[in-house]
Structure formats: C-alpha cells, structure tokens
C-alpha cells in the first residue's frame, strides 16, 4: 500500500464520518452499526450510476453538436 491509498480502518472511519454528516439519518432496517457502511456504500453506488449516465448523455450531446462529419 502506498501513501495515497487508504487503509481499511481509515476507510471505515471515513464512512462513519460521511454517515454522521448526513442530517436525520436513521437506520433503515436494523439497529447494528454495520448499516452505516451499507448505507454509504449504496449511496456511492447510486452516485456512480448517476455519474455514468450523466457522462453518457454529455457524450451524446457533444456528438450531436459536432455533427456526423466532424465526429469522424
């Protein structure tokens, strides 16, 4: 592991801080501590999916603005 990588403990601490920063965050299904990490992980997955769709739409818009001749 190099100095730019996070350890598992640092990653868990970051996830706990992220969850603590979300106002009015309640346990959706259980009362265990692990739900915090599942919530943050699911939120990150949704964010990644939204970002991927946004990038795809952006690419289509750029292609349409350039026209078919310039894209080649």
C-alpha 31 chain-centroid distance: 24
More confident residue, 56 or 43: 56
Domain-located, residue 41: yes
pLDDT at 14: 74
Domain-located, residue 30: yes
Domain-located, residue 15: yes
pLDDT at 13: 77
> CA Rg, the chain, in Å?
19
Domain tally for the chain?
Answer: 1
Domain-located, residue 3: no
Domain-located, residue 66: yes
Give the model confidence (pLDDT) of 52-64 as tens digits: 888 888 888 888 8
What number of other Cβ atoms are within 10 A of residue 30's Cβ? 9
Give the model confidence (pLDDT) of 4-34 as tens digits: 777 777 777 776 777 666 666 555 555 555 5
Structural domain boundaries, residue 24: 8-71
Domain-located, residue 2: no
Distance CA 18, CA 36 (A): 9
Candidates 68, 47, 69, 65; CA nearest to 57 is 65
Domain-located, residue 12: yes
- Looking from the CA of 58 toward its CB, the CA atoms found within 13 Å total 6
């Amino acid at each position: 592991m190099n100095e730019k990588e996070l350890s598992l403990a640092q990653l868990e601490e970051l996830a706990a801080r992220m969850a603590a920063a979300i106002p009015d965050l309640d346990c959706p299904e259980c009362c265990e501590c692990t739900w915090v990490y599942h919530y943050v992980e699911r939120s990150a997955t949704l964010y990644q999916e939204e970002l991927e769709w946004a990038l795809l739409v952006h690419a289509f818009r750029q292609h349409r603005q350039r026209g078919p001749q310039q894209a080649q």
